[in-house]
Structure 1
Amino acid sequence: MGTGTIRSLSSLVKRPPLSRFSGIDLPLVSEGIKDHDGLSAAAAQSRASVLRSRAESYIALSRHEAAIADLTESIALAPGNARAWRLRGESHRMIERYEAALEDFDEALKLEPDSAYALGSRGQTHAAMGRLEEAMADFDHALTLSPDSLWILEAKADALVDLDRLDEALDEHAKILALNGDLPYSWVARGDLYQRLHLYAEAIDDYTKALDLEPEHVRALSRRGEAFRMADRYEEALVDLSRALELDPDNDRALGSRGAVLSELGDNEAALSDLDRAIELDPEYVWAYRVRGEIFQELDRHEEAVSDFTQALHLEFGD
């Protein structure tokens, strides 16, 4: 299918809010505050609080370097604030500075050992580093503290997929859907897992449930189209993939899939147009090179076929 390992779309997975008005620090003296440019203890705590709040907005804007700068100063002012360590760890994680993220989550957990948020985020960091057993330990601990946390359940399901413990991953998705079956992404995520298991009818059912909730959900349309393609239901696949591309014309995966469908339906020129555009959007789209190479081969355009197969081998295996 060319879509790689299933992973959660973190932008769609709900986390607990980073702050609440009741959590704003009051300028009281704290023994954890260090002197900073001659500020009084109360002023230092107040400044640290504002810096943390500004950092949250930077994080929401994906301006993680700016967030890290604010949080570093905030930590210098008030090193005993677990939230600052946790937020800086999350910013480091989002820009793939995983070792720094782990250090920050470790500090946060020294201050708040029962923080499900920090445990879940540290688990995601371990998973991103390929340390799947350590990730599972963090997720399991976090879920004893917050058993209904959807984003942690989703992260655990992803780790189980990477560990090839697919039946257990399906169990986690069942928990997610029991908690919130009104979230289209939850159905899409399980549909992706069914598709990985080559259970295309089950995948199509889950994508359909997502589309019942949100008829213009681009990923559900694209993935259902792919499942239809894998089940040799090409006309239905073409309808879904075309609708996904009406909504998102630069969806490279939908273009690649539609290209393969059009080829199966005998329209190789239209197929090549879609695959050319998919590769233009993502020059490292290995599967698109392979499909386009096969079409070139079918058309006796063997020099172009060789070029595409060579590029696919280079990208996937380093040849």
Structure 2
Amino acid sequence: MSEGIKEQSGLSEAAAQSRASVLRSRAESYIALSRHDAAIADLTESITLAPDNARAWRLRGESHRVIERYDAALEDFDEALKLEPDSAYALGSRGQTYAALGRLDDAMADFEHALTLSPGSLWILEAKADALVDLDRLDEALAEHAKIISLDEDLAYSWVARGDLYQRMNLYTEAIDDYTKALETDPEYVRALSRRGEAYRMTDQYDEALADLNRALELDPENDRAYGSRGAVLSEMGDDEAALKDLNRAIELDARYIWAYRVRGEILQELDRHEEAVADFSQALHLEFGD
């Protein structure tokens, strides 16, 4: 610590280092509690007292990233990497920040470097897979998901993540298989139930879809996506009034749920309720395209 900082803090070198250490530790608890502004305040003081601590820069960068202050996050990760150039954590987090900014080539470079240092890091592999999806390199993304699953087949989330990618690729049978694997590990995994229900809907397996979506909503009564999917299933099964009830609830829960407006508009159109249908289609266009 420089003499100027010591004079400003009024602390000896040892006391300054001790205070900085406690502030870093408290910040980690603030981060765990999602109190990121409090964490940033502690870490800013910690950095002032002990500017050569890479962990403080990295933690502050992570808090900035989580609350979407991406430019500040990049500055902090850059400082952390000056101090610890081979920090897989800082590289992975900076890669996530680049990805959030749409700088996908920079993100991929950081992920690749991080994985040479920590090849079994699941969260970095997942972030790389997400970036590959954004780059429309879907087969490569699938290969990354296969690596993730091979490292720990008991992680339900990993099966769901690959299932979501299969669903995006319209490979619904494969998606259903992966969601089923996730549910074997965690039978009450709401996202797996909801997404498998949607995949069943896309393959015209309406009874199976309805069973999954009913269970998802039993477990999570405010799951807007499950309501939207169940509304579409009920419509396909000929129960338009129940479908509209579900879609109304989905939109109550998320007023920006574009797909729900579109599906509700189509049902209203079939029921010759054209003024209401026009309003829903107009809202969908407004939300997606700014019309």
- TM-score, structure 1 length as denominator? 0.90
Q: Residue 136 of structure 1 aligns with which residue? A: 108
1:61 aligns with 2:44: no
Instruction: Provide the alpha-carbon RMSD of the alignment.
Output: 1.1
Which amino acid letter does the alignment assign opposite residue 133 of structure 1? D
Q: Residue 189 of structure 1 aligns with which residue? A: 161
Where does 1:1-319 land on structure 2 (aligned, <5 Å)?
Answer: 34-35=5-6, 36-319=8-291
Which amino acid letter does the alignment assign opposite residue 62 of structure 1? S
Distance 2:3 2:130 in 1: 38
Q: Secondary structure at the match of 1:72?
A: helix
Using the TM superposition, give the Cα deviation of residue 33 of structure 1 relative to its aligned residue in structure 2, in angstroms. 9.4
> Per-residue CA shift, 1:78-130, capped at 9, x if unaligned?
00000000000000000000000000000000000000000000000000000
Q: Secondary structure at the match of 1:34?
A: helix
Higher helix fraction: Structure 1 or Structure 2? Answer: 2
Q: Secondary structure at the match of 1:266?
A: coil
Cα pair distance change 1:299/1:114, threshold 3 Å: same
Distance 2:225 2:198 in 1: 9
Distance 2:189 2:4 in 1: 48
Q: How many residue pairs end up in the alignment? A: 290
Aligned-pair identity (%): 82
* Unmatched tracts of structure 2, length 5 or more: none
> Per-residue CA shift, 1:190-220, capped at 9, x if unaligned?
0000000100000000000000011110000
Using the TM superposition, give the Cα deviation of residue 31 of structure 1 relative to its aligned residue in structure 2, in angstroms. 6.8
Distance 1:95 1:271 in 2: 36
Which amino acid letter does the alignment assign opposite residue 34 of structure 1? I
Distance 1:251 1:189 in 2: 18
Cα pair distance change 1:224/1:164, threshold 3 Å: same
Alpha-carbon contact 2:261-2:280 (below 8 Å) kept: yes
Alpha-carbon contact 1:33-1:78 (below 8 Å) kept: no
- TM-score, structure 2 length as denominator? 0.98
Using the TM superposition, give the Cα deviation of residue 34 of structure 1 relative to its aligned residue in structure 2, in angstroms. 3.2
Which amino acid letter does the alignment assign opposite residue 5 of structure 2? K
Alpha-carbon contact 1:116-1:146 (below 8 Å) kept: yes
Q: Secondary structure at the match of 2:5?
A: coil
Which amino acid letter does the alignment assign opposite residue 300 of structure 1? D
> Per-residue CA shift, 1:18-39, capped at 9, x if unaligned?
xxxxxxxxxxxx6799314310
Distance 1:149 1:232 in 2: 38
